[in-house]
Chains A and B, each alone.
Chain A
Amino acid sequence: MNEFYEGMAEVLEVDIDQISPAFELQNIDWNSLAIVSTIALVDECFDVLLNGRLLDACKTISDIENLIAAKKD
């Protein structure tokens, strides 16, 4: 999971310590570029392709993790 959190910190341009499941995406600029970067990151870390519309609706990192878990099943 570390690789994913490190990647998310980079994508969201925040400190790694700030990244946790509860991290609120609306507190930062959860824009189309961040979403595109997250799709690439998740694919790299988990070999899972997430849909942009579903990612756009995510409110927290935990929501993203739920999407990944659902896709893995």
Chain B
Amino acid sequence: MIQKIHAKVIDIASYLPDSILENDELAAIYPDWSAGKIYEKTGIKQRHIASKDQTAADLAYLAALNLFSRNKVKAENVDFIILCTQSPDYILPTSSCLLQNRLGISKNSGALDINLGCSGYVYGLSLAKGLIETGAAKCVLLLTADTYSKFIHPMDKSVRTLFGDGATATAITGIKSVDQFIGPFVFGTEGNGGLNLIVEAGLSRSPKTDKTALEVFDSSGNIRCKENLYMNGAEIMEFTLKEVPKAMATLLEKKGCKKDDVDYFILHQANKFILDALRKKLKISEAKLPIFLEHCGNTVSSSIPIVLEHMLNNGIFGNEKKLMLVGFGVGYSWAGCLLNFKIGE
């Protein structure tokens, strides 16, 4: 058996901002929703919200510091930064370049941002694997960070109940082994769904104007303007139930394994009702498809690594586990991969 350098996830940490938005507070402003109903439907009790002057890159910076404090990886080991965010600090320069400086990472490092939402973590792993297994990088710092709360109108319960801010940091390095730890991958894109999850105004296609700031009511009584996050929940549900099971089947076929060979299915933590619907459709037990968003809501590209971090810190990965990760959402964009995860070496 020939040993080759294979990319491996070494450690994961997260950072959630201090300010918390509870269901009680939301129920007080949305008269037809009780705190209990919000929890029952979404599976979410609270969301962490970035402060006014705290950006996604700030959250990513703190997640990276949390990662380095665990002593598995140091800033000086990193030679490539990937930041997945849809809330960059500036139109330009690239936020990951600024983070290189803030984190004291070597200037002989690569840095790039990827603009993806819920599929972003799996995309980030695929890039990290490519960089490491071609010898282009030795240690990749994969950061995910978003502050959707800044795009959300306070009176839009369709999204304010769901999304929370947060960031994660994952270290990926090369290990000599016979088998691969990350992969295979599947990807999917359906750009005609782009308008169903969108912040329409604010950049080149539709710069902010008085017109884009005009607030309107929708048929469910929510208020938003073109500069706010809009989500067509029904379209997203239809897309998810159509594409995610297919992507998962393709991934199993690619690997030549069965559903039962997978220990845990770590799906993007969109909300409880989407995850329940997927779980029933896929006929996967509750124990094998963790729902872990009660304390933080839907954190977009950070949702999958937040589950992984939790499982890691609670000893669930003591022995090597075979995981399937699937991210899906804004774009539409989806991506899945298998991940062999073992900690404690």
The reply to whether the CB of A35 lies closer than 8 angstroms to some CB of chain B is yes
Docked CA distance A51–B242 (Å): 11
Residue pair A37, B241 in contact (C-beta under 8 Å): no
Q: Report B92-139 residues with CB < 8 Å from chain A CB.
A: none
Number of A-B residue pairs at CB separation under 8 A: 54
B32 x A52 contact (CB < 8 A): no
State the Cβ distance, A31 to closest chain B Cβ, in Å.
4
Contact of A32 among B32, B234, B238, B242 (CB under 8 A): B234
A interface, size bucket: 10 to 19
Mask of A13-47 contacts with B, CB within 8 angstroms, 1/0: 00000000000000001011101110110011000
Residues in A with CB closer than 8 Å to B237 are 36, 39-40, 52
- B277→A49 contact, CB < 8 A: no
**Cβ–Cβ < 8 Å partners of B318 in chain A:** none
- Asked whether any CB of chain B lies closer than 8 Å to the CB of A12, the reply is no
Q: How far is the CA of A35 from the CA of B273 in the complex (A)?
A: 12
Q: A31-B220, A32-B220, A37-B273 are in contact. Are A50 and B238 (CB under 8 A)?
A: yes
Is A32 touching B233 in the complex (CB atoms < 8 A)?
yes
Is B235 on the interface with A (CB-CB < 8 A)?
yes
Please state if A52 and B232 are interface contacts (CB–CB under 8 Å).
yes
Q: What DSSP secondary structure best describes chain A's contact surface?
A: helix
Q: How far is it, in angstroms, between the C-alpha of A39 and the C-alpha of B274 when the chains are bound? A: 10
Q: Would B232 and A40 count as touching, CB distance under 8 A?
A: no
> Please, which residues of chain B bring their CB within 8 A of the CB of A55?
234
Which A residues touch B281, using CB under 8 A?
43-44
Question: Is B241's CB under 8 angstroms from A36's CB?
Answer: no
Distance (whole angstroms) from the CB of A37 to the closest CB of chain B: 6
Contact, CB under 8 Å: B277 / A52: no
Contact among B242, B273, B274 with A49 in the assembled complex (CB-CB below 8 Å): B242
**Contacting residues, chain B, for A31 (C-beta < 8 A):** 219-221
Closest to A29 in B: B32
Most buried by B among A35, A36, A43, A52: A36
Question: Residue A56 at the B interface, CB < 8 A?
Answer: yes
Task: Please tell me if the beta carbons of A39 and B32 are within 8 angstroms of each other in the complex.
Answer: no
A39–B241 alpha-carbon span in the complex (Å): 9
Chain B 273-302 interface 0/1 with A at a Cβ cutoff of 8 Å (1 = within): 110110011000000000000000000000
Complex interface bits, B213-240 against A, C-beta within 8 A gives 1, otherwise 0: 0000001110000000000111101100
- Residue B158 at the chain A interface, CB threshold 8 Å: yes
Docked CA distance A39–B277 (Å): 9
Q: Tell me if B208 counts as interface (CB < 8 A to partner A).
A: no
Task: Give B residues with C-beta under 8 Å from A.
Answer: 32, 41, 158, 219-221, 232-235, 237-238, 241-242, 273-274, 276-277, 280-281
Known: A36-B234, A40-B276, A43-B277. 18 other contacts (CB 8 A): A29-B32, A32-B233, A32-B234, A33-B158, A33-B233, A36-B233, A36-B273, A40-B273, A40-B274, A43-B241, A44-B277, A44-B281, A49-B238, A51-B234, A52-B232, A52-B238, A55-B234, A56-B234
Give me the interface of A with B, judged by CB distance under 8 Å: 29, 31-33, 35-37, 39-40, 43-44, 49-53, 55-56
Some 27 contacts from A to B, beta carbons below 8 A apart, are: A31-B219, A31-B221, A32-B158, A32-B219, A32-B232, A32-B234, A33-B158, A33-B233, A35-B233, A36-B233, A36-B237, A36-B273, A37-B273, A39-B238, A39-B241, A40-B241, A40-B273, A40-B274, A43-B241, A43-B277, A49-B238, A51-B234, A51-B238, A52-B234, A52-B235, A53-B234, A56-B234
